[in-house]
A and B are shown apart, each in its own frame.
Chain A
Amino acid sequence: MAGEKVSAIGRFVGLKALSDELAGLVESAAAYTVRVEDGSRLTGTGVVWSEDGTVVTSSHGLERDEDLSIESSDGTVRSVTLVGRDPESDLAVLKASNTGLIAAPKEENPEVKVGQLVVAIGNPGRQGLQATLGLINSRYEVQTNDKPEYILKTDAVLYPGFSGSPLIGATGKVVGLVNRWFGRGSSVALGVPIVEQVVASLLEHGRVQRGYLGIRTQIVPLPETVLTALERPQASGLLIVQVEPGSPADVAGVLLGDILIGIDSESLVDVDGLRHHLRAGRTVQLHTLRGGQQRNVEATIVAQR
């Protein structure tokens, strides 16, 4: 019996190696995964993005703008200032004045694939690093700029305070920045290209300039009679509840009471979808319903003032 046990233990060499490597990966991430202290009860996690002291975290985790600090896993505390926030991507950029920080290595876009193993590493509380393991379940391509951008969905569990944590691939490089809130209950991470873009914009301008159409909308269920007339059935649309005079929407002839159902041949079922399409300088086709009839108008999105 004893001999069988020994041979059974001896068979798990590969698993032991995987386990050790995962632990090693977490150890190496400790160098750039920081605890973000904003004075609130629950602190968040951040990633040292570049060696000049730029740290990225989630915007919703930061309750205040001042008296912020970061704590590295070796216990070093550095005070940081808020460079800016982007509510759209829920990212915030902080800057530490003193350097000596180690930046996270980042994975290039084509290497990030569905099915790959990922580890989420949080540093939210006083217990040190926390790690969870999962796969990249899906990859959503989103085009907000000229470069390919993507959002990753994972089954790695994200505990409270994990927003702003790195999602790390099997090469030990960061593939995305996790966000517990953005995914509305599911674990998602913003791919590195999205984060790069937002960080660059916040560092340069203090904010991310989003596109502006000049409307306020509310989601409405579409009546049954309208549904049957649509090319692609959709349960809801966006009722235009305000049109700013002189705005791109106004110029395009959008009226109060129109229901926005699509943009550039893509269905719009909520305002979050619309916000993702707003890129300054783009000319878009807005598909609206007026009196049950579909109308298509062209609008040129401008930069938000």
Chain B
Amino acid sequence: MSILNGVVGIETVSAVSGSGELNGLAASANPDVILADDDATDRAALLSVAAELGLPVVLLTSDRQSVRQLSSAHVPAWACLLKEAEAAEITAAVFAAAAGLITLDGSMVPLLTAANVRSVQTIYGELPDPMSPREMEVLQLLAQGLPNKVIANRLNISQHTVKFHVAGILSKLNVGSRTEAVTIGARRGLITI
């Protein structure tokens, strides 16, 4: 872990080999983050100890698949980087993990399928027919209760075009009124509030 020597804000409080030693040392050293050189045979045990201690884990691995294991671990934050990661990347990941953020090497993103990130899976799926940027603008103005005439003026389009967009919004959100469109739009995260 010499790569982190001299980095302002990071102090190596303890170095251990394997999850077995981690449990005992962590209590006395009081670390903020566990930086681990991945060992596939000890990975599950390490994550279980980290979860028990409530500590974020920064894992340096050669197995991209380990990102899946990390994403379902009950740790407060984690990072998954490749063993050949630059010192700057590791440093950033340590700071990010300490701040409660999740960091991963870009090449691992496709491995995190919807099933793996179900903890942040929202109850609304994608709209079958997504809203156009113009419809999103009209919806935002509907949320302010503005009538068609004012919306037309704001967006510099005709009232007829506003009506056309409102009809499109109601149809895409499968609702019967503007009020419902605003409520459903806000619930779906389509309106800034």
Cβ B187 vs Cβ A216 within 8 A: no
In the bound assembly, the distance between CA atoms of A272 and B145 in angstroms comes to 16
Cβ A65 vs Cβ B148 within 8 A: yes
Q: How many residues on the B side are at the interface (Cβ–Cβ under 8 A)? A: 39
In the bound assembly, the distance between CA atoms of A241 and B144 in angstroms comes to 20
Partner of A208, one of B74, B145, B150: B145
Among residues 94 to 119 in chain B, which have CB atoms less than 8 Å away from a CB atom of chain A?
99-102, 119
Cβ B192 vs Cβ A242 within 8 A: yes
Partner of B145, one of A58, A207, A215, A244: A207
Cβ A59 vs Cβ B100 within 8 A: no
Cβ B119 vs Cβ A84 within 8 A: no
The contact size tier of chain A is 35 or more
Min C-beta distance of A291 to chain B, whole Å: 3
Min C-beta distance of B152 to chain A, whole Å: 11
Q: Inside 8 A of A218's CB, which chain B residues have their CB?
A: 122-124, 187-189
Contact flags (1/0) for A49-72 with B, using CB distance below 8 Å? Answer: 000000000111111010000000
Among residues 250 to 295 in chain A, which have CB atoms less than 8 Å away from a CB atom of chain B?
257, 259, 270-272, 274-275, 278, 290-293, 295
Cβ A65 vs Cβ B122 within 8 A: no
Which positions in A face B, CB cutoff 8 Å?
Answer: 58-63, 65, 82, 84-88, 90, 181, 202, 206-208, 210, 212-221, 223, 225, 239, 241-242, 244, 247, 257, 259, 270-272, 274-275, 278, 290-293, 295, 304
Cβ A291 vs Cβ B193 within 8 A: no
Min C-beta distance of B98 to chain A, whole Å: 10
Q: Inside 8 A of B149's CB, which chain A residues have their CB?
A: 65
Partner of A90, one of B120, B179, B191: B179
In the bound assembly, the distance between CA atoms of A242 and B145 in angstroms comes to 22
Cβ B101 vs Cβ A290 within 8 A: yes
In the bound assembly, the distance between CA atoms of A292 and B55 in angstroms comes to 11
Q: Inside 8 A of A58's CB, which chain B residues have their CB?
A: 179
Q: Inside 8 A of A65's CB, which chain B residues have their CB?
A: 147-149
Partner of B189, one of A61, A202, A217: A217
